[in-house]
Amino acid sequence: MPIIAFGLNHRHAGIDLRGRASILPEDLKNSLPSLVNSAEYISEALVLSTCNRTELHCIVQQEDEQTVEEHLRRWLAEHRNITLSELVGKTYFFSSSEATRHIMRVAAGLDSQVLGEPQIFGQYKAAYQAAVKTGTIGPELEPIVTAVVRTCKRIRNETEIGRHCTSLPQAAVIKTQQEFPNLSSIRVLLIGAGQIIRAVSKYLHTAGVRAITVANRTLANADRIAQDVDGKVIPLTEYGEHLYEFDVLITSTNSDRPIVSFEVVKNACEQRRNKPMLIADLAVPRDVDPFVRNLEQVRVFTVDELSSDIQTNLSSRHESVHQAEQIIEDGLDKLNDSFRAREVSTTVSKYRSNMEDIRDQEIDFAVTRLRAGEDPQQVIASLAQSLTQKLVHFPTVALRNASIAEDVELLNRLCSAYEIES
């Protein structure tokens, strides 16, 4: 170790379990301290929780990986009210360089359901800021985060992995365009005011949608999104009264339970006189009651379905994966080099401190002798001899032991270090 990455994602867990395991941004102020304080060997932590994954990135001082993995699985189960049996076979665990490599791949979008999607990088940086705010980032995790961010920026700048983006917001807009080719004639309701809804609103507006309404609990947040797309705002509590007016509903909130009920959509459909409606649920946990898809005139698309639908559009990104992986390996090498340099610096500092202690002891002894009236020349000669003997003692012992053990490689290294002809 000491860095570990533990969690579950779309590859291992279904949408329901991912939703129940997710940790909302507003809960991190309690979740992060709880995680760090859950075991004495956990000193630092960052929690990355998105619609596709919940991951715990921790600095641990514990050699037994199984102990750490079992503890984190138990913590997540208790913290999110999930039974341990539900998590068996659904989680993964990485340590040391493998953990750092995994985190780099995640933040770069290489492990995303939609390859290369850019939102995850922003979500990772937001997770870091939350950990900084709660005080769970320290000197071990900080340089790892810095290396991850630096590596991801290189990947974005030097490869095609983040270009011609096909993120979930874009996937929702593509699906909207497929259902309603004349985008300028439709009305769209957006529920939420986070990054995903903001992105959806911009993509819709750019694609030609001119009637966009944003519903949210906090009207000020909704208004900031609506202003950018010449849209309107309604309180979230009133969306049901107006739903019949819209051809498309796209929702992404942090609610822990569905906010779009079957009855509300059914009533809207009756008022629409069977005109088709498209609903894109980009939230995890789901914002839309699963039974809504039973309504004949409504087409519902979830995160999993949208992600699966757009994989065919990712050929150029797949071609860039190898290049991105090489950049990750380079970033990992540089990070490990920096850690080794820090370890060497610490060792050198301790060595110098030990030598300085010997020097100070010899000087104090010499000063005492001079004050006692001894011959200065003899005192200086004695000081030089004693200091030399003590400073060369450790190298001499090392050279002798290497010679006795016939360790030629070590002997050559010692001779090189002390500039001795072997």
Task: State how far the Cα of 167 lies from the Cα of 143, in Å rounded to an integer.
Answer: 29
Torsion of CA 116, 121, 127, 129, to 10 degrees: 180
State how far the alpha carbon of 210 is from the alpha carbons of 159, 165, 196, 246, 324, in Å: 34, 22, 19, 12, 38
Among 51, 58, 152, 269, the one annotated catalytic: 51
Task: Please check the confidence at residue 392 and state whether its pLDDT lies above 80.
Answer: no
Task: State how far the Cα of 118 lies from the Cα of 123, in Å rounded to an integer.
Answer: 9
Q: Can you say whether the dihedral through the CA atoms of 155, 196, 279, 261 is positive or negative?
A: positive
3-state secondary structure 303-357: HHHHHHHCHHHCHHHHHHHHHHHHHHHHHHHHHHHHHHHHHHHHHHHHHHHHHHH
Cα angle value 316/322/326 (rounded, 5°):
135
300-325 pLDDT tens trace: 999 988 877 666 666 667 778 899 99
The CATH 3.30.460.30 domain(s) of the chain lie at 3-163
The CATH 3.40.50.720 domain(s) of the chain lie at 168-307
Task: State how far the Cα of 229 lies from the Cα of 262, in Å rounded to an integer.
Answer: 29
Looking at domain 3-163, its CATH class is: alpha beta
Q: Quick one: pLDDT band at residue 416, thresholds 50, 70, 90? A: confident
Contact yes or no for 275/297 (Cβ under 8 A): yes
Q: Quick one: pLDDT band at residue 360, thresholds 50, 70, 90? A: confident
46-92 pLDDT tens trace: 999 998 999 999 999 988 999 999 999 999 999 999 999 999 999 99
Name the residue with tokens 């009236």: 373
Task: Please check the confidence at residue 258 and state whether its pLDDT lies above 70.
Answer: yes
Task: State how far the Cα of 24 lies from the Cα of 33, in Å rounded to an integer.
Answer: 15
**Other beta carbons within 10 Å of 121:** 21
Question: Containing H/E element for 277?
Answer: strand 277-281
39 Cα distance to chain centroid = 21
140-157 pLDDT tens trace: 999 999 999 999 999 999
Question: Containing H/E element for 393?
Answer: helix 376-404
Q: Is 51 a catalytic residue?
A: yes
Looking at residue 366, its amino acid is: A
DSSP 8-state class, residue 40: T
Name the residue with tokens 């500092």: 349
Residue predicted with more confidence, 377 or 251: 251
Contact yes or no for 86/93 (Cβ under 8 A): no
**Other beta carbons within 10 Å of 266:** 15
Two tokens, residue 134: 């709660």
Q: Which range (188-197, 213-222, 363-372, 392-401) has the least confidence?
A: 392-401
Two tokens, residue 156: 């974005």
Task: State how far the Cα of 410 lies from the Cα of 399, in Å rounded to an integer.
Answer: 9
Name the residue with tokens 């016939």: 406
Name the residue with tokens 């270009």: 163
Sequence-distant (≥ 6) Cβ neighbours of residue 258 within 8 angstroms: 285, 286, 287, 288, 289, 290
**Other beta carbons within 10 Å of 50:** 22
Say whether domain 168-307 belongs to CATH 1.20.1260.10: no
Percentage of the chain lying above the pLDDT 90 cut: 66
Enumerate the β-bridge partners of residue 278: 248, 299
* Residues counted in the chain: 422
Calculate helix-pair angle for 376-404, 408-417, nearest 10 degrees: 150
